[in-house]
Structure 1
């Protein structure tokens, strides 16, 4: 009986990533052939029926090194009608002074100064309430928005009044280390492919907090961003879709971002992401049991199963480590972690997934294929990181007091 239990753990550890890779690949290919392949070149987006005012929102906290570059690039949008709202959220460096100076240089810019650090969600709410546009495009204070991105995002809003949000396509700027190169492949083969697949299958787990567009009436309908959630982007995505607003993915809306290139910085970032997912599941899980929320069931189920897989992997690793020190009974003995036939199969499927995603993404980066070599190391890094952060994040989410303000912390921005 116990032997069967251990075999079940091992089978689940193998078949879950295999099944998800197949789902992501099939969904990504369906998306590509249905929508992406027939789109015009990114540098010549299709004309729109109208060009309503769009408010470009940039929440900032201690962004003195990047804010000038970010806003200067943002002002180069080819979209003809926009304003820029930058929020200085209690910065302790000279971000506020730089923003005041930039007002003189960028006519479209307005600045809101918050006296204390109140968190990204508070800054977004303040800017949304001050915005003159019916559509909001939100980016981070260190991001570089492609000049055509606003055009591509607004296109979906005009296409259907049920579209409440559109998530863009983040691209990694810093690639000087192995971790940076691994994340280039990750955003392409994991995040980009997942969003394509989720768009095909009906619901998207989250918009990208670094680049996303919102219909203001949709935000008003759900009460804007919650200020007590670690990841405000996941939270607002779930609430919008639970109110039956549609979220779309637009790969042509490129946004160049900085990512952690140290293990400590990467750990902190992924722990926050994992905690944010657990928080929304704990807060809205019971609401999803209603029949009217059935289209969210697959998104929630995939997250629950991924959590179960992380704990499954932790049990297997723990049994293997204990077996190195003491002799365990056969029903608990994990003989080796050296890849056997199943490890080879998973590795081949992962490399196929990476290849498909990089071929699709060549539309946006012609030389992205050179990162394929580095991706052979990614499954090991990704699975270990996912397992560890999921296990640590769940109790943090359970123990967190509701209503606690989620304030800014300065992230690792890489090299």
Structure 2
């Protein structure tokens, strides 16, 4: 019956597997460290439940790896002694005669001398006559106690063989059954020898296949490892016992898990056991859902009964390995509670918008990848010790059936604690159509709850997090649907006889499956030798990614938000063109269009006060009624650490309204558009809808990007042209001005010309689709502002106005009387107000509503901090716009740096300064009721923050210097109530 020989692990195999397990343990530690970080805790009750499921999974996996550590295959000793052997098999009323007759004939064909006993609970006359013809002892009993154990013990009292084999009535032994077993008993310490339990009906149904798949790994490498620890399990079938061993414990131990009970009793008496990994019999596995559920309920109830009673009685008699083994085995059946939690947590998140983790998707993928990789690779590597070639693989059906049995496992545990008896009923052997509604009811309830949660959650709040959770809930739905289909498979098969087309389709599927099976075998053969390298690579690479130095970090993913923050791009330069930046050729197109005039060279001296900058602030000439703010929360949703929900957006818009804001600029198309429009309607706010035009780097090597971008813009305009909350269309980012970073003459001319033509087509087509809305285009208030705006105004008359991007106070000097176009402030950094500026009365969008902290970016240009607390600029704006945000009376704060050289790993103390009584004071000498928070900001080489770590609280902080002080900043926040004021500083005192 064996299709491949099972060889013991070589030294190389053993080392490889153990190193992989060590890597796997490191992967679990890496994953667990991320999960236990207090910063990732979302809604605490759901977080605790989710953490519990992860811990359970880790323990279960480690227990499996523990059973791979010392795989051993016993050598069959030479036969030196003849034993008297009894073979016991049982029969209960209702079991098919064909099955028991086949088994009895096979037992009689065993070549080793033996006596056969049929333990007939039904005292069946027909079987009595059959036994008489075959020379089999037919025995029965009248005192039917202890179910199978009582039946076997009755036979023990009526037999005398030194060894006794217990076979289930559905298991058919091969003639050479005892050849690999008998000689092990020459060791007088051996109490029993167990072999593989295999099945010949596993292709009968999905239930049968799934039930069989659940045994492959157990009867393969896991049981082989039990040889090394003397924890081999006696299974209810195919186990050969030494009679004196059974007599030493009073016979076959009773219970619903009588085989495990017998193992525990024998091992507590210091008997040893052997597992022989050979298929010497094949039997029947449950082929219907009711049969499978009855079997699992019996085992779940029986195993937990042993744990709460027998385990603690025998505890002192076990070795430490046996104590560990019998304490962790019941965890298999605790899976029911874990699956229930996994069903409920995402469903609750969908309904309530409460999420267990505050971790961005990419970070979660990074920390979980080594663990998932190790689980897959270690299991597949260990499958070189499974019994048959078809036992390799992922065992998907077995896993689905396991999940769908959750409520049976829970029932078994509950029955144990309420002391409810479960009758010992032999697993049904017949395959027949059955009504499964009642046993499917728990899964149907989970399915209905899950579908309801998906529908409600996605209708109520369409955002990436609800979609993500809906994916998990959808998987749970598929699990439940599988159980419903699998339980009615016999009906479906019967119906196929009337549909030839479906029959042909199924044949094609089976043929494709066969080809895939062969392909899968080839993949396993390729991957298995390099499993160790793949495991090590997955762990090392993800650790490297998670701790990647700032100077090596990719800048492209954060260029969008950083542009919004600083009013400039972080694009690397130059990528195309000559060797030097052609500043003079910034607008080589000048000569072509003859619209350029000599640029105003007015420059404000660096010695001028900030108030002098403020005095130069011009007033916008367009959309004077607009009192706006830019809202970019969720723009990089897959990097957001904190989930953004519809509730959050509605709350934010409510506060905006309270602050006197009447218009919100958003960048789209965005997955949050629907929620934003809804919130705007609720609070009677307008929306300025902006399209982000990527920097030149995104167009240089792929001009198709411009075509796809145009298509996306026009599609969005068509979709939303009837949306009354949208007041105008804005094209954001001053891409035209950035072209000089990438091109030199003569390429610059063509690049500028092509971009203007593209922009003109986009603007004109937007006008054709939506003629009643205004179109604005952003330009940066730099030295080329006048030239850029005037050129675009002349070349594209359909542009109604220009949005000026103001990234600091000095930018105002570039707005001169040569700017003969309608303009407004499309992005004004609130830091301008801190520098002494006066909030404009209108025609402005502040950048941004709130600071952002994502996986790879941190910004500080919001009117609120990352925790939603009010900065002074929000109060200033609210006062100017007649809002109702209370005044922020917090005094200014600064960071006092030590006058010491900040060497790497050196500890330096930084103090908070508070401005009181017209002077700066050390914070610890003042009484202001302020609390202080200190953060270390990691930056890239361009100074853009990408990570924020809380260092501590208090009026001063001791900071251990990082390796590179120039890519770090110190951020101080002073807090009182819901108001904050802050300062950000380098770690060192610059020399000049």
SS of corresponding position for 1:87 = strand
**What are the within-5 Å matches in structure 2 for residues 100-115 of structure 1?**
100-104=129-133, 106-107=134-135, 109-115=136-142
Q: Distance in 2 between matches of 1:343 and 1:267?
A: 34
> How much has 1:237 moved relative to structure 2?
1.0
> How much has 1:167 moved relative to structure 2?
1.3
SS of corresponding position for 2:277 = strand
Q: Distance in 2 between matches of 1:405 and 1:377?
A: 27
Asked if 1:132 is matched to 2:160, the reply is yes
Give the aligned partner of residue 327 of structure 1.
352
> How much has 1:72 moved relative to structure 2?
0.3
Give the aligned partner of residue 88 of structure 1.
120
Give the aligned partner of residue 223 of structure 2.
195
TM score, norm. by length of structure 2: 0.36
Equivalent of residue 360 in structure 1, options 385, 399, 423: 385
Give the aligned partner of residue 214 of structure 1.
241
Give the aligned partner of residue 415 of structure 2.
396
Give the aligned partner of residue 251 of structure 2.
224
Q: Distance in 1 between matches of 2:275 and 2:79?
A: 18
Mapped contact 2:231–2:325 kept (Cα < 8 A):
yes
> How much has 1:138 moved relative to structure 2?
0.6
**Residues 1:200 and 1:378: Cα distance change in structure 2 (over 3 Å):** same
| Number of residue pairs aligned between Structure 1 and Structure 2 | 382
Equivalent of residue 411 in structure 1, options 412, 419, 428: 428
Give the aligned partner of residue 18 of structure 1.
61
> How much has 1:242 moved relative to structure 2?
1.2
Q: Distance in 2 between matches of 1:400 and 1:141?
A: 30
**What are the within-5 Å matches in structure 2 for residues 140-179 of structure 1?**
140-158=168-186, 160-174=187-201, 175-179=203-207
Mapped contact 2:294–2:427 kept (Cα < 8 A):
no
SS of corresponding position for 1:381 = helix
Asked if 1:121 is matched to 2:152, the reply is no
> How much has 1:191 moved relative to structure 2?
3.4
> How much has 1:297 moved relative to structure 2?
1.0
> How much has 1:163 moved relative to structure 2?
1.2
SS of corresponding position for 1:319 = helix
Give the aligned partner of residue 929 of structure 2.
none
> How much has 1:103 moved relative to structure 2?
1.8
Q: Distance in 1 between matches of 2:78 and 2:149?
A: 33
**What are the within-5 Å matches in structure 2 for residues 231-242 of structure 1?**
231-242=257-268
Q: Distance in 2 between matches of 1:320 and 1:354?
A: 30
> How much has 1:374 moved relative to structure 2?
7.1
SS of corresponding position for 1:311 = helix
Mapped contact 1:143–1:258 kept (Cα < 8 A):
yes
Equivalent of residue 76 in structure 1, options 73, 89, 109: 109
> How much has 1:314 moved relative to structure 2?
2.7
**Residues 1:219 and 1:257: Cα distance change in structure 2 (over 3 Å):** same
**Residues 1:171 and 1:291: Cα distance change in structure 2 (over 3 Å):** closer
Give the aligned partner of residue 5 of structure 1.
48
Q: Distance in 2 between matches of 1:210 and 1:334?
A: 49
Q: Distance in 1 between matches of 2:392 and 2:243?
A: 40
Q: Distance in 1 between matches of 2:317 and 2:126?
A: 52
Residues 20-53 of structure 1: CA distance to partner in whole angstroms, max 9, x if unpaired? 34233334xx314xx3xxx5xxxxx764111111
**Residues 1:409 and 1:335: Cα distance change in structure 2 (over 3 Å):** farther
Equivalent of residue 369 in structure 1, options 389, 400, 407: 389
Asked if 1:294 is matched to 2:343, the reply is no
Q: Distance in 1 between matches of 2:386 and 2:100?
A: 28
Q: Distance in 2 between matches of 1:335 and 1:412?
A: 50
Unaligned runs of 5+ in 2: 1-40, 433-992
Bigger helix share: 1
Structure with higher Rg: it is 2
Give the aligned partner of residue 262 of structure 1.
288
SS of corresponding position for 2:344 = helix
Give the aligned partner of residue 99 of structure 2.
66
Q: Distance in 1 between matches of 2:125 and 2:358?
A: 59
Higher relative contact order (CA 8 A, sep 6+): 1
Q: Distance in 2 between matches of 1:269 and 1:126?
A: 24
> How much has 1:353 moved relative to structure 2?
2.2
SS of corresponding position for 1:199 = helix
> How much has 1:413 moved relative to structure 2?
4.6
Give the aligned partner of residue 401 of structure 2.
381
SS of corresponding position for 2:188 = coil
Mapped contact 1:6–1:332 kept (Cα < 8 A):
no
**Residues 1:343 and 1:171: Cα distance change in structure 2 (over 3 Å):** farther
> How much has 1:124 moved relative to structure 2?
0.2
Mapped contact 1:149–1:252 kept (Cα < 8 A):
no
**Residues 1:354 and 1:390: Cα distance change in structure 2 (over 3 Å):** farther
**Residues 1:307 and 1:76: Cα distance change in structure 2 (over 3 Å):** closer
> How much has 1:117 moved relative to structure 2?
5.4
